[in-house]
Amino acid sequence: MNFLDNRNNKKILVLASVFFMVIISMLCIGCASGIKKGTLVGQAAPDFTLKDLNGNRVSLSDFKGKVVVLNFWATWCGPCRVEIPHIDALYQKYKDQGLVVLGINAERNHEKVEEFAKAKVSYTVLLDGERQGREYGVTGIPSTFYIDKKGVVRHHDVGFGPGKEKEIEQKIVELL
């Protein structure tokens, strides 16, 4: 008798497949729930000052006149880990045209953040961004804000999934 001949085994297989699809969908969407997506779109981006991985103070207002991609992320977030190489590649491609990328991390283990970032990120990573996450209405990650040259939030994305890297590039090009 074959495994699929048994009616109970078929039910288990169907339930396992549904469960697997739900898990995959959640990973594609991101580590996000209860998002206040778009609440800042059309408004001035709240200014902040944080320290980077080298201990230098960096303010958002330092980049007036440039397009800024502000990405809230964590080392433990699977979709963040998948998204970061794409954001880094876009930073490399467009930085000479005035693109600035600021990665904001709120984890307390700075050594872990530094170890991860030094291996995968060429843009500026800022630490201790918990308060800024609240100011920007971030309740899930990855959460990315696209800020125009005048300092206005033009787009806000939450999560990362297949094909999203093209959307990210389109938003960047539109603002450059």
> Ramachandran region of residue 138, left (φ > 0), alpha (ψ -120 to 50) or beta?
beta
- Per-residue model confidence as pLDDT tens digits over 139-159: 789 999 999 999 999 999 888
Residue 151's CB is within 10 A of a number of other CB atoms, namely 18
User: The whole model's pTM is what?
Assistant: 0.77
DSSP 68-118: EEEEEE-TT-HHHHHHHHHHHHHHHHHGGGTEEEEEEE--S-HHHHHHHHH
Question: Which residues carry out catalysis?
Answer: 80
CA distance 167 to 170: 5
User: How much is the pLDDT for 27?
Assistant: 44
Each residue's pLDDT tens digit, 22-41:
444 444 444 443 334 457 88
CB neighbour class for 36 (10 Å; exposed up to 12, middle 13-18, buried from 19): middle
